């Protein structure tokens, strides 16, 4: 697959019916607890494989840490990553560690799939509804936690959401005729919707009043607690998005909020989409929502209402 439509992972065809899907992701901690950080970094790296509708098989650790970091801390990061890779049904086959003043952790992940069954972010069709499987507001919440504006209990839904694998959501969606899928990460819902729209040659309408939001995220965003990435996303999206009607400032901000280990954004025809969303909500996550629809390409690629 080429680079033109910004797919979540690279796909290399080995045989007619077999391709390897590969992705890599690593970053510095956004939480204090090293075990949770390991879990989140691994769930985030594994997510790009699920976004392609595939199953991860092999993972390699990528770890950077300063020599002053306690051995238990390093072990806790790796244990968190190991736990998530195990939960994904994949194996850690090795890795590489270097010394770095700032700790960073993540994985290189490979999966294998029939190329005909791989989902791309570019197959959305006018008439499709869009489902999002995790709540927004991760960037706002981690920024607030860094500034000590949240208690541990208030921050825990964000940690829970980030460390949750997209595995069950992926397995559930694969039972439905899905047209396109991606995962919502650094570019926020807005940026990933833009990629889906551009790749599909269609426009995406997002329903700002239907967005699932982490508890406290709206209140914090209203106070102006936004990560730098949200402003970067909004700057990048200038001219590429139309706001129609009265879309509250805070929702414009949250729609651009960069997500770490965010949910899947799934496009499929309206009737099966309603069924899938119900099934996801019953069996996988209470956060699954229909957040938008795909329409013929019009005045702009993304329309927020
Ligand atoms: Co992705
Ligand atoms: Co990625």
Q: In this structure, are residues 130 and 192 in contact, taking their beta carbons and an 8 Å threshold?
A: no
In this predicted structure, the answer to whether residue 2 has a pLDDT above a threshold of 60 is no
pLDDT value for 247: 96
Per-residue pLDDT reduced to its tens digit, 238-260 = 999 999 999 999 999 999 999 99
Looking at residue 7, its pLDDT comes to 78
Give the model's pLDDT for residue 299. 83
**Mean of pLDDT values over 140-168:** 97
Q: Considering the chain, what percentage of its residues have pLDDT values greater than 70? A: 98
- Whole-number Å distance, alpha carbon 261 to ligand 1 midpoint, is 9
Tell me: the pLDDT tens digits for 13-36?
Answer: 999 999 999 999 999 999 999 999
**Ligand 1 centroid to residue 224 C-alpha, Å:** 27
Q: How far apart are CA 214 and CA 285, in angstroms?
A: 13
Tell which CATH classification among 3.40.50.720, 3.30.450.40, 3.30.1330.10, 3.30.70.1290 matches the domain 10-117: 3.30.1330.10
Output the CA torsion sign for 39, 22, 50, 141.
positive
- Ligand number, closest to the Cα atom of 24: 2
pLDDT of residue 1: 58
158, 164, 165, 167 alpha-carbon torsion, rounded to 10°:
-120
Rounded to the nearest 10 degrees, how much is the dihedral formed by the CA atoms of 177, 182, 188, 190? -50
Residue 232 pLDDT = 97
Q: Can you tell me the mean pLDDT for 41-70?
A: 97
Q: How far apart are the CA of 45 and the centre of ligand 2, in A?
A: 6
Q: Return d(Cα 90, Cα 93) in angstroms, integer.
A: 9
The CA 182 to ligand 1 mean position distance, Å, reads 6
Q: pLDDT digit string (tens) for 195-232?
A: 999 999 999 999 999 999 999 999 999 999 999 999 99
**CA of 44, nearest ligand number:** 2
Average pLDDT over residues 57-85: 97
Whole-number pLDDT of residue 195? 95
What residues pair up with 61 in beta bridges, in sequence order?
A: 95, 107
183-191: average pLDDT = 97
What mean pLDDT is predicted for residues 51-70? 96
C-alpha 23 – ligand 1 centre gap (Å): 9
Number of other CB atoms surrounding residue 62 within 10 Å: 20
Q: Give distance in angstroms: CA of 67 to centre of ligand 2.
A: 28
CA 298 to ligand 1 centroid distance, Å: 26
Q: What is the 48 CA–ligand 2 centroid distance (Å)?
A: 6
User: Separation of 15 CA from ligand 2 center, angstroms?
Assistant: 25
Among the bound ligands, the one closest to the CA of 183: 1
pLDDT at 3: 54
Q: What class is the 128-304 domain?
A: alpha beta
The alpha carbon of 15 and the centre of ligand 1 are apart by a number of angstroms equal to: 25
Q: Calculate the average pLDDT of the chain.
A: 96
Tell how far the Cα of 93 is from the centroid of ligand 2, in angstroms.
20
Stretch(es) of the chain classified as CATH 3.90.650.10: 128-304
The pLDDT of residue 8 is 83
Ligand that comes closest to the CA of residue 181 = 1
Q: Would the pLDDT of 5 be above 70?
A: no
CATH 3.30.1330.10 range(s) for the chain read 10-117
Question: Are the CB atoms for 193 and 130 separated by under 8 Å?
Answer: yes
């Amino acid at each position: 697959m080429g680079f033109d439509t910004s797919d979540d992972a690279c796909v290399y065809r080995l045989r007619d019916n077999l391709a390897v899907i590969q992705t890599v992701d690593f970053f510095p901690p956004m939480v204090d607890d090293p075990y949770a950080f390991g879990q989140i970094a691994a769930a985030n790296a594994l997510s790009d494989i699920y976004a392609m509708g595939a199953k991860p098989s092999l993972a390699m650790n990528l770890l950077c840490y300063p020599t002053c970091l306690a051995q238990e801390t390093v072990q806790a990061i790796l244990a968190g990553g190991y736990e998530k890779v195990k939960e994904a049904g994949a194996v850690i086959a090795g890795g590489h560690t270097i010394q770095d003043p700032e700790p960073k952790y993540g994985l290189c992940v490979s999966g294998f799939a029939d190329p005909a069954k791989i989902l791309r972010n570019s197959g959305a069709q006018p008439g499709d509804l869009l489902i999002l499987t995790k709540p927004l507001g991760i960037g706002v919440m981690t920024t607030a936690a860094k500034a000590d504006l949240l208690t541990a209990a208030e921050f825990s839904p964000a940690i829970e959401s980030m460390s949750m694998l997209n595995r069950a959501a992926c397995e559930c969606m694969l039972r439905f005729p899905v047209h396109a899928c991606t995962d919502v990460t650094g570019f926020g819902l807005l940026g990933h919707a833009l990629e889906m729209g551009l790749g599909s040659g269609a426009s995406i309408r997002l329903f700002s009043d239907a967005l699932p939001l982490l508890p406290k995220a709206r209140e914090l965003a209203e106070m102006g607690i936004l990560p730098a990435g949200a402003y970067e996303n909004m700057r990048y999206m200038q001219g590429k998005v139309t706001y129609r009607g009265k879309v509250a400032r805070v929702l414009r901000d949250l729609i651009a909020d960069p997500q770490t280990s965010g949910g899947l954004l799934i496009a499929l025809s309206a009737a099966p989409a309603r069924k899938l969303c119900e099934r996801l909500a019953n069996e996988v996550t209470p956060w699954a929502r229909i957040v938008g629809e795909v329409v013929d390409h019009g005045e702009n690629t993304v329309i927020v209402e």
